[in-house]
Amino acid sequence: MNVLWFIPTYGDGRYLGTNIGGRPSDFAYLKQLAQAIDALPFSGALLPTGRACEDAWVVASALIAVTQRMKFLVAVRPGLTLPGVAARMAATFDRLSGGRLLINVVTGGDPVELAGDGLHLAHDDRYALTDEFLTVWRKLLLQETVNFTGSHIDVRGGQQVFPPLQKPYPPLWFGGSSTAAHRVAAKHADTYLTWGEPPAAVAQKIADVRQQAESQGRSVRFGIRLHVVVRETTSEAWAAAEDLLRYVDESAVARAQADFARMDSEGQRRMTHFNRGSRESLEISPNLWAGVGLVRGGAGTALVGDPETVAERLREYADLGIDSFILSGYPHLEEAYRTAELLLPRLPLAPVEQQSTQHLVNPLMFGPFGDASAQSLRDRLPSPQSVPV
């Protein structure tokens, strides 16, 4: 199993839906959390994206220098970033971090937020844009010259000077529960990521993405995003889960559910279906609790129980084909240690990779000045008249 943790760039705390006991995600706290993840047996961490979050790329870049081996799963948002710019960002981060970048492709599921950022496409059109974006992004990082004209993206003579350290490029992680999302994942993703759903539902997703990928001669790995509430005993774990909702009242649930209802994300719709905006019947599968999703968007389920029970539930997902697990708990610093101490020793963890900064030399850099590389690229570029439209 490949187990990652989570870095909450929107703030942290002991309770859901309240500022009581909250703590800001300032640099001091983010550094403390990242260094804990780096020292514990986690392979890396996911950084969220959205207007309520600090920018994932800036945060991850700041944390490179204070960590040694952990990988950063950082979001790329097609339509908010052009593929050429995103390719340069990815290659630079990958090289400067010694190959510690993973890419989380986030198409987005909140039309109101996306409109605020200037993107006004319908759901399936956003996935069509994502398909075009990733087609260009992958070719650029393979250092191909790209001429591409699609419905949303038009690139003429695109090139990437500095290659990424990881080959062929930093791995692509991709989530989405809709038919359109599965098509894009099967075509482009290295790892398809689902939120925590009952095993039978996860199995259906895996089967669909796997079949579509195989039809294109590809193979895809699978990951899952879950919260965990693990304690030494089952009763302690369920008490801790309920305590997360100590300050959540019906008005807070109603406000959150109204926000979720405006979204066109199939994954969010499924999360909301599991909790139905009610505290009743939140254990939707053995030890899988939907209480987090009452007031939190995105991943809204948690595995709750004693260490061996939670480990067994994770092994059930592994038996379906899941090999990567992105876990989290509130507050994230303390729960990272608790999870590492109680849960991780019971899991068959993949060896943690040691990163290297070797092979960072750009093959175009034959002279002492960066201009030599740029001139070499200019010499290889076609003239504007020869670029096909």
> Domains of the chain: which residue ranges?
2-226+324-386
d(CA 323, CA 156): 38
Which three-class secondary structure state does DSSP give residue 141? helix
What phi and psi values does residue 2 have, to the nearest 5 degrees? -105, 110
d(CA 199, CA 202): 5
Which three-class secondary structure state does DSSP give residue 301? coil
**Residue spans of alpha helices (H) in 83-149:** 83-96, 111-116, 123-141
222 - beta bridge partners?
Answer: 192, 322
d(CA 261, CA 343): 35
pLDDT per residue rounded down to tens, the chain (389 residues): 999 999 999 999 999 999 999 999 999 999 999 999 999 999 999 999 999 999 999 999 999 999 999 999 999 999 999 999 999 999 999 999 999 999 999 999 999 999 999 999 999 999 999 999 999 999 999 999 999 999 999 999 999 999 999 999 999 999 999 999 999 999 999 999 999 999 999 999 999 999 999 999 999 999 999 999 999 999 999 999 999 999 999 999 999 999 999 999 999 999 999 988 888 889 999 999 999 999 999 999 999 999 999 999 999 999 999 999 999 999 999 999 999 999 999 999 988 765 544 445 444 444 444 444 445 544 554 443 433 33
CA torsion, points 131, 136, 141, 144, in degrees to nearest 10? 140
d(CA 90, CA 57): 9
pLDDT for the residue 220:
98
Neighbours of 64 (CB within 10 A): 17
Q: Which helix (H) or strand (E) holds 254?
A: helix 250-261
Handedness of CA 341, 343, 348, 353 (dihedral sign): negative
Cβ atoms of residues 205 and 194 within 8 Å: yes
Cβ atoms of residues 81 and 55 within 8 Å: no
Nearest to 202 by CA among 350, 307, 325: 325
Options 3.40.140.10, 2.60.120.10, 3.40.50.300, 3.20.20.30; which CATH number does 2-226+324-386 get?
3.20.20.30
What phi and psi values does residue 240 have, to the nearest 5 degrees? -65, -40
191 - beta bridge partners?
Answer: 173, 221
HSE of 304, CA atoms in CB hemisphere, 13 A: 26
- Residue 262 Cα to chain centre, angstroms: 22
Neighbours of 120 (CB within 10 A): 11
pLDDT for the residue 369:
42
pLDDT for the residue 139:
98
pLDDT for the residue 381:
47
Cβ atoms of residues 267 and 177 within 8 Å: yes
